Structure 1
Amino acid sequence: MSTRPIAPRTPRPPGALRLGLSRGWVEIRTFSREWEGVLFTFLLPTVILALFATVMGGFFDMGVSAVDYFLPGLIAMGLMSVSFQTLGVSIATEREYGMLRRLRGTPMPPSAYFVGKTILVLFLALGQVVLLLGVARLFFDAALPTTVAAWATIAWVFLLGTVACSLLGIAVSSLARTPQAASAVVTFPFLILQFVSGIFVPVSALPEWLLNLASLFPLLWMAQGMRAGFFPDAMAGLEPSGSWELPTVALALGIWCVVGLAVTLTTFRWKNRKDG
Protein backbone atom coordinates (compact mmCIF):
# COMPACT_ATOMS: atom_id res chain seq x y z
CA MET A 1 0.00 0.00 0.00
CA SER A 2 1.57 3.23 -1.16
CA THR A 3 1.33 6.44 0.75
CA ARG A 4 1.47 9.84 -0.77
CA PRO A 5 3.90 12.32 0.72
CA ILE A 6 2.16 15.02 2.68
CA ALA A 7 2.75 18.39 1.14
CA PRO A 8 4.14 20.93 3.58
CA ARG A 9 1.64 23.51 4.72
CA THR A 10 2.10 26.99 3.40
CA PRO A 11 2.45 29.35 6.33
CA ARG A 12 -0.38 31.82 6.61
CA PRO A 13 0.65 35.41 5.94
CA PRO A 14 0.46 37.71 8.96
CA GLY A 15 -2.82 39.50 9.42
CA ALA A 16 -3.53 43.21 9.09
CA LEU A 17 -3.33 43.78 12.84
CA ARG A 18 0.07 42.14 13.19
CA LEU A 19 1.41 44.00 10.17
CA GLY A 20 -0.10 47.19 11.56
CA LEU A 21 1.70 46.71 14.88
CA SER A 22 4.97 46.20 13.02
CA ARG A 23 4.24 49.23 10.89
CA GLY A 24 3.54 51.24 14.04
CA TRP A 25 6.98 50.38 15.41
CA VAL A 26 8.51 51.51 12.10
CA GLU A 27 6.55 54.78 12.29
CA ILE A 28 7.77 55.45 15.85
CA ARG A 29 11.41 54.71 14.98
CA THR A 30 11.23 56.87 11.86
CA PHE A 31 9.70 59.77 13.76
CA SER A 32 12.24 59.43 16.59
CA ARG A 33 15.18 59.88 14.20
CA GLU A 34 14.20 63.53 13.70
CA TRP A 35 15.15 64.80 17.14
CA GLU A 36 14.07 68.36 16.34
CA GLY A 37 10.56 67.18 15.60
CA VAL A 38 10.52 65.01 18.72
CA LEU A 39 11.53 67.93 20.95
CA PHE A 40 9.02 70.30 19.35
CA THR A 41 6.18 67.78 19.54
CA PHE A 42 6.69 66.82 23.17
CA LEU A 43 7.86 70.14 24.61
CA LEU A 44 5.61 72.76 22.99
CA PRO A 45 2.58 72.45 25.33
CA THR A 46 4.89 72.11 28.34
CA VAL A 47 6.84 75.25 27.40
CA ILE A 48 3.61 77.22 26.90
CA LEU A 49 2.32 76.02 30.27
CA ALA A 50 5.57 77.04 31.97
CA LEU A 51 5.38 80.50 30.36
CA PHE A 52 1.77 81.03 31.44
CA ALA A 53 2.51 79.85 34.98
CA THR A 54 5.54 82.14 35.24
CA VAL A 55 4.23 85.26 33.51
CA MET A 56 0.58 85.18 34.63
CA GLY A 57 0.89 83.49 37.99
CA GLY A 58 1.04 86.73 39.97
CA PHE A 59 -2.13 88.38 38.66
CA PHE A 60 -4.27 85.52 37.36
CA ASP A 61 -7.76 85.55 38.91
CA MET A 62 -10.04 82.76 37.72
CA GLY A 63 -10.58 80.95 41.00
CA VAL A 64 -7.63 78.61 40.35
CA SER A 65 -3.94 79.12 39.62
CA ALA A 66 -2.77 79.90 36.08
CA VAL A 67 -1.21 76.45 35.65
CA ASP A 68 -4.38 74.71 36.80
CA TYR A 69 -6.55 76.79 34.50
CA PHE A 70 -4.51 76.38 31.31
CA LEU A 71 -3.52 72.73 31.82
CA PRO A 72 -6.66 71.00 30.41
CA GLY A 73 -6.81 73.30 27.39
CA LEU A 74 -3.15 72.72 26.59
CA ILE A 75 -3.71 68.96 26.81
CA ALA A 76 -6.50 69.29 24.22
CA MET A 77 -4.29 71.50 22.04
CA GLY A 78 -1.44 68.98 22.25
CA LEU A 79 -3.73 66.11 21.27
CA MET A 80 -4.90 67.95 18.18
CA SER A 81 -1.30 68.85 17.35
CA VAL A 82 0.01 65.26 17.38
CA SER A 83 -3.00 63.92 15.47
CA PHE A 84 -4.45 66.51 13.07
CA GLN A 85 -1.27 68.47 12.43
CA THR A 86 1.20 65.58 12.42
CA LEU A 87 -0.82 63.31 10.15
CA GLY A 88 -1.96 66.09 7.83
CA VAL A 89 1.62 67.08 7.02
CA SER A 90 3.37 63.71 7.20
CA ILE A 91 0.91 61.83 4.97
CA ALA A 92 0.97 64.61 2.38
CA THR A 93 4.78 64.38 2.37
CA GLU A 94 4.74 60.59 2.00
CA ARG A 95 2.29 60.89 -0.89
CA GLU A 96 4.35 63.55 -2.66
CA TYR A 97 7.57 61.52 -2.56
CA GLY A 98 5.92 58.29 -3.71
CA MET A 99 6.13 56.45 -0.37
CA LEU A 100 2.40 55.77 -0.30
CA ARG A 101 2.41 54.49 -3.87
CA ARG A 102 5.24 52.06 -3.08
CA LEU A 103 3.49 50.84 0.08
CA ARG A 104 0.28 50.30 -1.88
CA GLY A 105 2.22 48.10 -4.29
CA THR A 106 3.30 45.71 -1.52
CA PRO A 107 1.22 42.83 -0.14
CA MET A 108 0.61 44.85 3.03
CA PRO A 109 -3.15 45.50 3.39
CA PRO A 110 -4.07 49.20 3.39
CA SER A 111 -5.59 48.91 6.86
CA ALA A 112 -2.16 48.02 8.30
CA TYR A 113 -0.85 51.42 7.20
CA PHE A 114 -3.59 53.21 9.13
CA VAL A 115 -3.09 50.98 12.17
CA GLY A 116 0.57 52.00 12.11
CA LYS A 117 -0.35 55.69 11.98
CA THR A 118 -2.79 55.17 14.86
CA ILE A 119 -0.05 53.63 16.99
CA LEU A 120 2.25 56.57 16.21
CA VAL A 121 -0.40 59.11 17.21
CA LEU A 122 -1.23 57.28 20.45
CA PHE A 123 2.47 57.05 21.31
CA LEU A 124 2.94 60.78 20.74
CA ALA A 125 -0.28 61.71 22.53
CA LEU A 126 0.42 59.61 25.63
CA GLY A 127 4.02 60.78 25.83
CA GLN A 128 3.02 64.41 25.51
CA VAL A 129 0.27 64.16 28.16
CA VAL A 130 2.51 62.30 30.63
CA LEU A 131 5.26 64.90 30.21
CA LEU A 132 2.84 67.80 30.57
CA LEU A 133 1.20 66.39 33.69
CA GLY A 134 4.56 65.49 35.22
CA VAL A 135 6.02 68.96 34.73
CA ALA A 136 2.81 70.65 35.89
CA ARG A 137 2.75 68.59 39.08
CA LEU A 138 6.44 68.49 39.96
CA PHE A 139 7.45 72.05 39.11
CA PHE A 140 4.22 74.06 39.45
CA ASP A 141 2.26 72.05 42.04
CA ALA A 142 -0.72 71.60 39.72
CA ALA A 143 -3.86 70.10 41.23
CA LEU A 144 -4.52 66.84 39.39
CA PRO A 145 -7.86 64.98 39.52
CA THR A 146 -8.35 62.69 42.52
CA THR A 147 -11.44 60.68 41.53
CA VAL A 148 -11.91 57.72 39.19
CA ALA A 149 -14.82 59.50 37.49
CA ALA A 150 -12.64 62.49 36.62
CA TRP A 151 -9.89 60.31 35.12
CA ALA A 152 -12.52 58.31 33.21
CA THR A 153 -13.81 61.55 31.68
CA ILE A 154 -10.28 62.55 30.70
CA ALA A 155 -9.73 59.10 29.18
CA TRP A 156 -12.77 59.04 26.90
CA VAL A 157 -12.27 62.65 25.82
CA PHE A 158 -8.63 61.73 25.08
CA LEU A 159 -9.64 58.77 22.91
CA LEU A 160 -12.58 60.36 21.08
CA GLY A 161 -10.74 63.62 20.49
CA THR A 162 -7.58 61.92 19.25
CA VAL A 163 -9.52 59.65 16.87
CA ALA A 164 -11.58 62.55 15.51
CA CYS A 165 -8.55 64.78 14.93
CA SER A 166 -6.53 61.90 13.43
CA LEU A 167 -9.23 61.20 10.86
CA LEU A 168 -9.45 64.89 10.04
CA GLY A 169 -5.68 65.03 9.61
CA ILE A 170 -5.76 62.08 7.20
CA ALA A 171 -8.62 63.71 5.26
CA VAL A 172 -6.92 67.12 5.08
CA SER A 173 -3.71 65.52 3.78
CA SER A 174 -5.49 64.86 0.48
CA LEU A 175 -6.42 68.52 -0.02
CA ALA A 176 -2.90 69.90 -0.31
CA ARG A 177 -1.01 69.80 -3.60
CA THR A 178 2.44 69.77 -1.99
CA PRO A 179 3.91 69.11 1.48
CA GLN A 180 4.57 72.84 1.82
CA ALA A 181 0.94 73.59 1.07
CA ALA A 182 -0.12 70.90 3.55
CA SER A 183 1.73 72.68 6.33
CA ALA A 184 -0.20 75.88 5.61
CA VAL A 185 -3.54 74.10 5.13
CA VAL A 186 -3.16 72.37 8.51
CA THR A 187 -1.40 75.02 10.61
CA PHE A 188 -3.54 78.04 9.71
CA PRO A 189 -6.94 76.69 10.91
CA PHE A 190 -5.31 74.97 13.90
CA LEU A 191 -3.76 78.26 15.02
CA ILE A 192 -7.08 80.11 14.77
CA LEU A 193 -8.96 77.37 16.62
CA GLN A 194 -6.56 77.63 19.56
CA PHE A 195 -7.69 81.21 20.19
CA VAL A 196 -11.44 80.65 19.74
CA SER A 197 -11.80 77.29 21.51
CA GLY A 198 -10.97 78.26 25.09
CA ILE A 199 -7.30 77.26 25.01
CA PHE A 200 -5.69 80.67 25.56
CA VAL A 201 -8.78 82.87 26.00
CA PRO A 202 -11.58 81.90 28.44
CA VAL A 203 -14.73 80.92 26.56
CA SER A 204 -16.70 83.37 28.72
CA ALA A 205 -14.73 86.23 27.10
CA LEU A 206 -15.49 85.19 23.51
CA PRO A 207 -18.28 86.81 21.45
CA GLU A 208 -21.27 84.53 20.99
CA TRP A 209 -20.92 84.36 17.22
CA LEU A 210 -17.28 83.35 17.51
CA LEU A 211 -18.12 80.72 20.11
CA ASN A 212 -20.84 79.32 17.86
CA LEU A 213 -18.32 79.11 15.02
CA ALA A 214 -15.76 77.34 17.21
CA SER A 215 -18.40 74.84 18.35
CA LEU A 216 -18.48 73.46 14.80
CA PHE A 217 -14.98 72.02 15.33
CA PRO A 218 -13.69 69.37 17.75
CA LEU A 219 -11.07 71.40 19.66
CA LEU A 220 -13.61 73.42 21.65
CA TRP A 221 -15.35 70.24 22.80
CA MET A 222 -12.08 68.52 23.63
CA ALA A 223 -11.03 71.46 25.82
CA GLN A 224 -14.43 71.55 27.51
CA GLY A 225 -14.33 67.83 28.23
CA MET A 226 -10.83 68.12 29.66
CA ARG A 227 -11.93 71.01 31.90
CA ALA A 228 -14.74 68.81 33.18
CA GLY A 229 -12.15 66.26 34.26
CA PHE A 230 -9.68 68.69 35.82
CA PHE A 231 -11.80 71.50 37.24
CA PRO A 232 -14.04 71.37 40.34
CA ASP A 233 -17.77 71.18 39.60
CA ALA A 234 -18.26 74.75 40.82
CA MET A 235 -16.33 76.07 37.80
CA ALA A 236 -18.90 74.65 35.38
CA GLY A 237 -20.73 77.94 35.86
CA LEU A 238 -18.02 79.66 33.80
CA GLU A 239 -19.04 77.67 30.72
CA PRO A 240 -21.47 79.39 28.30
CA SER A 241 -24.25 76.94 29.18
CA GLY A 242 -23.44 76.90 32.91
CA SER A 243 -22.59 73.16 32.83
CA TRP A 244 -20.00 70.80 31.38
CA GLU A 245 -22.48 69.30 28.87
CA LEU A 246 -20.57 66.01 28.75
CA PRO A 247 -23.24 64.20 26.67
CA THR A 248 -22.98 67.01 24.12
CA VAL A 249 -19.18 66.77 24.21
CA ALA A 250 -19.38 63.02 23.50
CA LEU A 251 -21.94 63.56 20.74
CA ALA A 252 -19.92 66.32 19.04
CA LEU A 253 -16.68 64.32 19.10
CA GLY A 254 -18.51 61.18 17.97
CA ILE A 255 -20.01 63.05 15.02
CA TRP A 256 -16.57 64.31 14.05
CA CYS A 257 -15.27 60.73 14.16
CA VAL A 258 -18.00 59.67 11.73
CA VAL A 259 -17.53 62.71 9.50
CA GLY A 260 -13.75 62.28 9.49
CA LEU A 261 -14.03 58.61 8.60
CA ALA A 262 -16.50 59.30 5.79
CA VAL A 263 -14.34 62.07 4.30
CA THR A 264 -11.21 59.92 4.62
CA LEU A 265 -12.81 56.96 2.85
CA THR A 266 -14.02 59.12 -0.02
CA THR A 267 -11.01 61.39 -0.53
CA PHE A 268 -7.87 59.49 0.50
CA ARG A 269 -5.37 59.07 -2.34
CA TRP A 270 -2.32 56.78 -2.51
CA LYS A 271 -0.87 58.75 -5.44
CA ASN A 272 -0.26 62.44 -5.91
CA ARG A 273 -2.03 64.40 -8.63
CA LYS A 274 0.91 64.14 -11.02
CA ASP A 275 0.67 60.34 -10.98
CA GLY A 276 -3.05 60.36 -11.68
Structure 2
Amino acid sequence: MSTATFAEASARRAPGIVGTGLSRIGYEVRGYFRSPDAVFFTFLFPVIMLGIFTAAFSAAGEISPAPGEPGVSVAAYYLPGMLAAGILLSGVQNLAVDIAGEKSDGTLKRLGGTPLSPVSYFIGKIGQVFVTGTLQAGLLLATSATLFGIALPTTTSAWATFAWVFVLGTATSALLGIALSSVPRSGKSATAVVIPIVLVLQFISGVYLQFSMLPAWLQDIASLFPLKWMAQGMRAAFLPADFESLERHGSWELGWVAVWLLAWLVIGLVASRLTFRWIRRDA
Protein backbone atom coordinates (compact mmCIF):
# COMPACT_ATOMS: atom_id res chain seq x y z
CA MET A 1 0.00 0.00 0.00
CA SER A 2 1.40 3.41 -0.97
CA THR A 3 1.86 6.16 1.59
CA ALA A 4 -0.97 8.18 0.07
CA THR A 5 -3.34 5.20 0.07
CA PHE A 6 -2.46 4.38 3.69
CA ALA A 7 -3.08 8.00 4.73
CA GLU A 8 -6.46 8.01 3.00
CA ALA A 9 -7.45 4.73 4.66
CA SER A 10 -6.41 6.07 8.06
CA ALA A 11 -8.39 9.25 7.54
CA ARG A 12 -11.50 7.25 6.66
CA ARG A 13 -11.02 4.99 9.69
CA ALA A 14 -10.44 7.80 12.21
CA PRO A 15 -14.10 8.94 12.45
CA GLY A 16 -15.10 5.34 13.06
CA ILE A 17 -12.59 4.99 15.88
CA VAL A 18 -13.74 8.22 17.53
CA GLY A 19 -17.41 7.45 16.98
CA THR A 20 -17.07 3.99 18.49
CA GLY A 21 -15.24 5.47 21.47
CA LEU A 22 -17.91 8.10 22.02
CA SER A 23 -20.64 5.47 21.80
CA ARG A 24 -18.90 3.49 24.56
CA ILE A 25 -19.07 6.37 27.02
CA GLY A 26 -22.72 5.71 27.84
CA TYR A 27 -22.00 2.01 28.30
CA GLU A 28 -19.09 2.77 30.64
CA VAL A 29 -21.12 5.27 32.68
CA ARG A 30 -23.96 2.79 33.16
CA GLY A 31 -21.50 0.12 34.23
CA TYR A 32 -19.92 2.53 36.72
CA PHE A 33 -23.19 3.31 38.50
CA ARG A 34 -24.12 -0.38 38.61
CA SER A 35 -21.06 -1.02 40.79
CA PRO A 36 -21.88 -0.10 44.43
CA ASP A 37 -18.24 -0.12 45.57
CA ALA A 38 -17.20 2.25 42.76
CA VAL A 39 -20.06 4.62 43.56
CA PHE A 40 -19.21 4.67 47.27
CA PHE A 41 -15.41 4.77 47.19
CA THR A 42 -14.98 7.13 44.24
CA PHE A 43 -18.23 9.04 43.68
CA LEU A 44 -19.56 9.69 47.20
CA PHE A 45 -16.30 9.44 49.14
CA PRO A 46 -15.26 13.13 48.84
CA VAL A 47 -18.71 14.29 49.98
CA ILE A 48 -18.61 11.93 52.95
CA MET A 49 -15.08 12.99 53.91
CA LEU A 50 -15.98 16.67 53.70
CA GLY A 51 -18.87 16.01 56.08
CA ILE A 52 -16.62 14.12 58.50
CA PHE A 53 -13.93 16.82 58.53
CA THR A 54 -16.54 19.54 58.98
CA ALA A 55 -18.18 17.74 61.91
CA ALA A 56 -14.85 16.87 63.53
CA PHE A 57 -13.04 20.21 63.32
CA SER A 58 -15.68 22.94 63.10
CA ALA A 59 -15.61 23.44 66.88
CA ALA A 60 -12.04 24.75 66.59
CA GLY A 61 -13.30 27.78 64.68
CA GLU A 62 -12.30 29.27 61.36
CA ILE A 63 -9.03 28.63 59.58
CA SER A 64 -7.15 31.83 58.76
CA PRO A 65 -3.93 32.53 56.83
CA ALA A 66 -2.42 34.31 59.86
CA PRO A 67 -3.43 35.06 63.47
CA GLY A 68 -5.91 37.89 63.66
CA GLU A 69 -6.78 37.82 59.96
CA PRO A 70 -10.19 36.86 58.56
CA GLY A 71 -10.56 33.18 57.85
CA VAL A 72 -12.91 30.63 56.34
CA SER A 73 -14.88 27.77 57.79
CA VAL A 74 -13.39 24.31 58.06
CA ALA A 75 -15.74 23.09 55.32
CA ALA A 76 -14.70 25.92 52.98
CA TYR A 77 -11.01 25.24 53.61
CA TYR A 78 -11.28 21.51 52.88
CA LEU A 79 -13.54 21.85 49.83
CA PRO A 80 -10.70 22.47 47.30
CA GLY A 81 -8.79 19.42 48.52
CA MET A 82 -11.87 17.24 48.27
CA LEU A 83 -12.51 18.42 44.72
CA ALA A 84 -8.93 17.48 43.80
CA ALA A 85 -9.24 14.14 45.58
CA GLY A 86 -12.45 13.44 43.68
CA ILE A 87 -10.62 13.92 40.39
CA LEU A 88 -7.90 11.51 41.48
CA LEU A 89 -10.41 8.92 42.71
CA SER A 90 -12.55 9.12 39.56
CA GLY A 91 -9.55 8.82 37.27
CA VAL A 92 -6.65 6.96 38.84
CA GLN A 93 -8.35 4.74 41.40
CA ASN A 94 -11.51 3.98 39.46
CA LEU A 95 -9.87 3.18 36.12
CA ALA A 96 -6.88 1.32 37.55
CA VAL A 97 -9.10 -1.02 39.56
CA ASP A 98 -11.78 -1.31 36.86
CA ILE A 99 -9.43 -2.13 33.97
CA ALA A 100 -7.39 -4.56 36.09
CA GLY A 101 -10.66 -6.34 36.87
CA GLU A 102 -11.63 -6.45 33.20
CA LYS A 103 -8.26 -8.03 32.39
CA SER A 104 -8.72 -10.59 35.13
CA ASP A 105 -12.26 -11.66 34.24
CA GLY A 106 -11.55 -11.93 30.53
CA THR A 107 -13.51 -8.86 29.40
CA LEU A 108 -10.49 -7.29 27.71
CA LYS A 109 -9.56 -10.57 26.04
CA ARG A 110 -13.04 -10.75 24.50
CA LEU A 111 -12.87 -7.10 23.41
CA GLY A 112 -9.47 -7.78 21.87
CA GLY A 113 -11.12 -10.33 19.62
CA THR A 114 -13.43 -7.67 18.19
CA PRO A 115 -12.65 -4.80 15.80
CA LEU A 116 -12.60 -2.41 18.79
CA SER A 117 -9.50 -0.20 18.72
CA PRO A 118 -7.57 0.51 21.93
CA VAL A 119 -8.09 4.20 21.12
CA SER A 120 -11.88 3.70 21.12
CA TYR A 121 -11.58 1.83 24.41
CA PHE A 122 -9.51 4.70 25.89
CA ILE A 123 -12.06 7.28 24.69
CA GLY A 124 -14.87 5.35 26.37
CA LYS A 125 -13.01 5.11 29.68
CA ILE A 126 -11.80 8.72 29.66
CA GLY A 127 -15.27 9.94 28.70
CA GLN A 128 -16.74 7.99 31.60
CA VAL A 129 -14.31 9.69 33.97
CA PHE A 130 -15.28 13.12 32.65
CA VAL A 131 -19.01 12.39 33.02
CA THR A 132 -18.81 10.89 36.50
CA GLY A 133 -16.20 13.43 37.64
CA THR A 134 -18.40 16.32 36.51
CA LEU A 135 -21.42 14.86 38.30
CA GLN A 136 -19.33 14.27 41.41
CA ALA A 137 -17.95 17.82 41.43
CA GLY A 138 -21.46 19.19 40.91
CA LEU A 139 -22.78 17.13 43.81
CA LEU A 140 -19.90 18.22 46.03
CA LEU A 141 -20.40 21.91 45.20
CA ALA A 142 -24.16 21.70 45.67
CA THR A 143 -23.77 19.92 49.00
CA SER A 144 -21.16 22.46 50.12
CA ALA A 145 -23.43 25.40 49.34
CA THR A 146 -26.67 23.97 50.71
CA LEU A 147 -25.66 21.79 53.67
CA PHE A 148 -22.40 23.39 54.79
CA GLY A 149 -23.17 27.01 53.92
CA ILE A 150 -20.00 27.53 51.89
CA ALA A 151 -19.97 30.69 49.80
CA LEU A 152 -18.88 29.64 46.33
CA PRO A 153 -16.78 31.93 44.09
CA THR A 154 -18.56 34.81 42.41
CA THR A 155 -15.89 35.87 39.91
CA THR A 156 -15.44 34.63 36.36
CA SER A 157 -11.69 34.23 36.86
CA ALA A 158 -12.17 31.89 39.82
CA TRP A 159 -14.54 29.65 37.88
CA ALA A 160 -12.23 29.74 34.86
CA THR A 161 -9.38 28.53 37.08
CA PHE A 162 -11.59 25.77 38.45
CA ALA A 163 -12.60 24.74 34.91
CA TRP A 164 -9.11 24.36 33.44
CA VAL A 165 -7.68 22.69 36.54
CA PHE A 166 -10.63 20.28 36.53
CA VAL A 167 -10.37 19.43 32.81
CA LEU A 168 -6.59 19.07 32.80
CA GLY A 169 -6.55 17.18 36.09
CA THR A 170 -9.30 14.81 34.96
CA ALA A 171 -7.59 13.98 31.66
CA THR A 172 -4.28 13.44 33.45
CA SER A 173 -5.82 11.24 36.15
CA ALA A 174 -7.70 9.14 33.60
CA LEU A 175 -4.57 8.40 31.58
CA LEU A 176 -2.57 7.61 34.72
CA GLY A 177 -5.35 5.27 35.83
CA ILE A 178 -5.14 3.38 32.54
CA ALA A 179 -1.36 3.12 32.92
CA LEU A 180 -1.55 2.03 36.57
CA SER A 181 -3.99 -0.76 35.68
CA SER A 182 -1.08 -2.77 34.29
CA VAL A 183 0.58 -3.00 37.72
CA PRO A 184 -1.80 -5.31 39.67
CA ARG A 185 -1.27 -8.99 38.92
CA SER A 186 -5.00 -9.70 39.09
CA GLY A 187 -8.34 -8.05 39.60
CA LYS A 188 -8.47 -9.30 43.19
CA SER A 189 -5.20 -7.59 44.09
CA ALA A 190 -6.04 -4.33 42.31
CA THR A 191 -7.59 -2.56 45.29
CA ALA A 192 -4.72 -3.65 47.54
CA VAL A 193 -2.22 -2.17 45.09
CA VAL A 194 -4.02 1.00 44.00
CA ILE A 195 -5.85 2.29 47.10
CA PRO A 196 -2.74 2.65 49.32
CA ILE A 197 -1.03 4.70 46.59
CA VAL A 198 -4.03 6.99 46.25
CA LEU A 199 -4.49 7.27 50.03
CA VAL A 200 -0.85 8.21 50.70
CA LEU A 201 -0.96 10.86 47.98
CA GLN A 202 -4.06 12.40 49.57
CA PHE A 203 -2.34 12.69 52.95
CA ILE A 204 0.84 14.31 51.62
CA SER A 205 -0.72 16.54 48.94
CA GLY A 206 -2.77 18.97 51.00
CA VAL A 207 -6.10 17.15 50.90
CA TYR A 208 -6.46 15.95 54.50
CA LEU A 209 -3.58 17.88 56.06
CA GLN A 210 -2.63 21.52 55.57
CA PHE A 211 0.22 21.37 53.06
CA SER A 212 2.25 24.12 54.74
CA MET A 213 2.35 22.11 57.97
CA LEU A 214 4.16 19.16 56.36
CA PRO A 215 7.96 18.93 56.64
CA ALA A 216 9.90 20.34 53.69
CA TRP A 217 11.15 16.93 52.53
CA LEU A 218 7.59 15.59 52.39
CA GLN A 219 6.46 18.66 50.48
CA ASP A 220 9.26 18.00 47.99
CA ILE A 221 8.04 14.44 47.46
CA ALA A 222 4.40 15.51 47.10
CA SER A 223 5.40 18.17 44.56
CA LEU A 224 6.55 15.44 42.20
CA PHE A 225 3.00 14.12 41.84
CA PRO A 226 -0.07 15.67 40.18
CA LEU A 227 -2.47 15.64 43.16
CA LYS A 228 -0.49 18.35 44.97
CA TRP A 229 -0.83 20.63 41.96
CA MET A 230 -4.52 19.86 41.45
CA ALA A 231 -5.22 20.69 45.10
CA GLN A 232 -3.19 23.90 44.81
CA GLY A 233 -5.08 24.92 41.69
CA MET A 234 -8.40 24.29 43.41
CA ARG A 235 -7.32 26.36 46.41
CA ALA A 236 -6.52 29.20 44.02
CA ALA A 237 -10.08 29.00 42.70
CA PHE A 238 -11.98 28.63 45.99
CA LEU A 239 -9.97 30.27 48.78
CA PRO A 240 -9.54 34.01 49.37
CA ALA A 241 -6.40 35.61 47.97
CA ASP A 242 -4.94 35.98 51.48
CA PHE A 243 -4.49 32.20 51.69
CA GLU A 244 -1.93 32.40 48.91
CA SER A 245 0.62 33.25 51.62
CA LEU A 246 0.27 29.72 53.04
CA GLU A 247 1.56 28.13 49.84
CA ARG A 248 5.16 27.02 49.85
CA HIS A 249 6.41 29.91 47.73
CA GLY A 250 3.76 32.38 48.80
CA SER A 251 1.98 32.08 45.46
CA TRP A 252 -0.67 29.93 43.81
CA GLU A 253 1.86 29.25 41.02
CA LEU A 254 -0.86 28.51 38.49
CA GLY A 255 1.71 28.43 35.71
CA TRP A 256 3.50 25.58 37.43
CA VAL A 257 0.16 23.87 38.11
CA ALA A 258 -0.43 23.78 34.35
CA VAL A 259 3.14 22.68 33.57
CA TRP A 260 3.14 19.79 36.04
CA LEU A 261 -0.31 18.56 35.04
CA LEU A 262 0.61 18.70 31.35
CA ALA A 263 3.84 16.83 32.06
CA TRP A 264 1.94 14.09 33.90
CA LEU A 265 -0.67 13.99 31.13
CA VAL A 266 2.08 13.23 28.60
CA ILE A 267 3.60 10.64 30.95
CA GLY A 268 0.20 9.01 31.40
CA LEU A 269 -0.50 9.01 27.66
CA VAL A 270 2.83 7.40 26.78
CA ALA A 271 2.73 4.92 29.66
CA SER A 272 -0.86 3.86 29.00
CA ARG A 273 -0.16 3.24 25.31
CA LEU A 274 3.05 1.31 26.01
CA THR A 275 1.66 -0.85 28.82
CA PHE A 276 -1.92 -1.48 27.68
CA ARG A 277 -2.63 -5.02 26.51
CA TRP A 278 -5.91 -6.79 25.87
CA ILE A 279 -4.40 -9.68 27.83
CA ARG A 280 -1.46 -9.84 30.22
CA ARG A 281 1.80 -10.91 28.61
CA ASP A 282 2.27 -13.53 31.32
CA ALA A 283 -1.29 -14.80 31.03
Give TM-score, length-normalised by structure 1.
0.92
Structure 1, unpaired ranges of 5+: 1-11
Q: Which is further off, 208-217 or 107-116?
A: 107-116
Amino acid aligned to 2:60: F
Q: Which is further off, 131-140 or 104-113?
A: 104-113
Aligned to 1:121: 129
Q: How does 1:88-107 map to 2 (within 5 A)?
A: 88-107=96-115
Aligned to 1:20: 21
Q: Which is further off, 235-244 or 183-192?
A: 183-192
Aligned to 1:29: 30
Following the alignment from structure 1 to structure 2, what is the Cα–Cα distance between the partners of residues 169 and 57? Answer: 34
Aligned to 1:181: 189
Secondary structure in structure 2 of the residue aligned to 1:15: helix
One of 56, 70, 84 as aligned partner of 2:78: 70
Amino acid aligned to 1:21: L
Q: How does 1:92-241 map to 2 (within 5 A)?
A: 92-241=100-249
Q: Which runs of 4+ in 1 moved over 3 A?
A: none
Q: May I ask how many residue pairs the two structures share in their alignment?
A: 264
Contact persistence 2:42–2:93 (CA under 8 A): no
Q: Deviations over 1:192-218 (max 9, x none)?
A: 111110111111100000000000100
One of 252, 270, 282 as aligned partner of 1:262: 270
Highest CA radius of gyration, 1 or 2? 1
Contact persistence 2:226–2:260 (CA under 8 A): yes
Q: What's the % identity of the aligned pairs?
A: 47
Following the alignment from structure 1 to structure 2, what is the Cα–Cα distance between the partners of residues 265 and 151? Answer: 33
Structure 2, unpaired ranges of 5+: 1-11, 64-70
Amino acid aligned to 2:51: A
Contact persistence 2:229–2:261 (CA under 8 A): yes
Report the Cα offset of residue 36 of structure 1: 4.5
Change (3 A) 1:36 1:191: closer
Q: Deviations over 1:81-121 (max 9, x none)?
A: 01000000110111112211211211222211111101110
Over the residues paired in the alignment, what is the CA RMSD in angstroms? 1.5
Give TM-score, length-normalised by structure 2.
0.89
Contact persistence 2:153–2:237 (CA under 8 A): yes
Contact persistence 1:42–1:131 (CA under 8 A): no
Secondary structure in structure 1 of the residue aligned to 2:60: coil
Contact persistence 2:38–2:94 (CA under 8 A): no
Following the alignment from structure 1 to structure 2, what is the Cα–Cα distance between the partners of residues 40 and 191? Answer: 12
Q: Which is further off, 105-114 or 191-200?
A: 105-114
